[in-house]
């Protein structure tokens, strides 16, 4: 055997080993181990200072064709000297970005005592935000310059989600032992409320609305509504789904961990 032929022979012998190793990498990465590839990061932004006992949290995000909006709280506390539960969640905010990551505006919410945002949804020319405040839940509307147009107290729905269409906002969550969905017009007037808790659906994890239909995703089920508040059907959603979306072919997609 000549020296020039040794390399090809070794490569031929190691071919099956390399192939099995690549299969192992693929399986291991799918199980939550190594990551072979991820999309490139186009831009990042830091929220609040980085120092001990400070908690800055992004709670929700909404994407429109010309903007990205986030909500959460800044300068919360997570213990340490002088810890006070009244400052645990810090100051709530909304921040609007252009698609290339430029901050367009930031609005701090300081006039609603105890407000904690939990869902944000944007339409072509406005943004809705829902959050808990004292004994109520508050629904807020902003224009795309960051000016608040109004705020309305609603039923104290917990862990709710909101979705917007051109003229309305839909709001689903838990009220006591009930699972409710509500429809509001663009002025914050409640148009109807539907109770879908004849069985235990659990926490709302996603909601989607368009000009003709409404979908609600809970920890255990997917429900479809007409826009007049009539429940059309519900199906089990096993495996713990965590988000809901609709593609260009009007197919509903569930996202899992």
Helix and strand numbers (H, E) in the chain are 1, 18
* Mean of pLDDT over the chain: 78
Which residue would you say has higher pLDDT here, 85 or 171?
171
pLDDT at 3: 47
pTM: 0.76
CA distance 94 to 61: 10
pLDDT at 159 over 50: yes
Residue 96 makes CB contacts below 8 A (sequence gap 6+) with 67, 68, 69, 103, 104, 105, 106, 127, 144, 146
Residue 2: which pLDDT band, with cuts at 50, 70 and 90?
very low
Average pLDDT of the segment spanning 26-49: 69
54-63: b (≥16 Cβ within 10 Å) or e: ebbeebbebe
Share of the chain above pLDDT 70, in %: 69
Which DSSP string corresponds to 143-186? ETTS-EEEEEEE---EEEEEEE-SSEEEEEEEETTEEEEEEEET
Lowest mean pLDDT segment, chosen from 48-62, 63-77, 121-135, 139-153: 48-62
Give the sign of the dihedral formed by CA 244, CA 151, CA 108, CA 168. positive
pLDDT at 209 over 50: yes
Average pLDDT of the segment spanning 47-52: 72
pLDDT at 173 over 80: yes
Residue 11: which pLDDT band, with cuts at 50, 70 and 90?
very low
Average pLDDT of the segment spanning 32-55: 73
pLDDT at 5: 47
Which residue would you say has higher pLDDT here, 16 or 189?
189
Convert the pLDDT of each residue in 102-154 to its tens digit.
999 999 999 988 888 999 999 877 899 999 877 778 999 999 889 999 999 88
Which residue would you say has higher pLDDT here, 74 or 256?
74
Q: Identify whether the C-beta of residue 139 lies closer than 8 Å to the C-beta of residue 130.
A: yes
Q: Is 46 exposed, middle or buried (0-12, 13-18, 19+ CB in 10 A)?
A: exposed
């Amino acid at each position: 055997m000549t020296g020039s032929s040794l390399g090809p022979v070794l490569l031929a012998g190691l071919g099956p080993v390399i192939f099995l190793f690549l299969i192992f990498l693929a399986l291991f990465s799918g199980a939550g181990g190594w990551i072979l590839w991820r999309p490139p990061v186009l831009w990042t932004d830091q929220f609040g200072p980085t120092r001990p006992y400070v908690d800055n949290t992004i709670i929700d995000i909404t994407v429109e064709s010309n903007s990205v909006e986030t909500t959460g709280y800044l300068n919360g506390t997570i213990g340490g000297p002088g810890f006070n539960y009244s400052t645990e969640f810090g100051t709530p905010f909304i921040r609007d970005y252009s698609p290339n990551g430029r901050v367009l505006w930031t609005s701090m919410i300081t006039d609603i005592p105890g407000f904690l945002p939990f869902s944000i949804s944007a339409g072509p020319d406005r943004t809705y935000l829902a959050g808990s405040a004292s004994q109520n839940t508050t629904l807020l509307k902003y224009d795309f310059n960051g000016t608040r147009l109004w705020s309305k107290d609603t039923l104290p729905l917990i862990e709710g989600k909101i979705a917007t269409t051109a003229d309305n906002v839909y709001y689903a969550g838990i009220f006591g032992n009930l699972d409710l969905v509500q429809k509001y017009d663009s002025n914050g007037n409640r148009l109807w409320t539907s109770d879908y808790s004849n069985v235990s659906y659990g926490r709302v994890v996603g909601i989607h609305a368009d000009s003709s239909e409404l979908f609600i995703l809970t920890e255990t089920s997917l429900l479809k509504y007409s826009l007049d508040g009539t429940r059309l059907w519900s199906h089990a959603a096993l495996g713990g789904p965590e988000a809901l979306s609709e593609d260009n072919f009007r197919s509903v997609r569930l996202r899992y961990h």
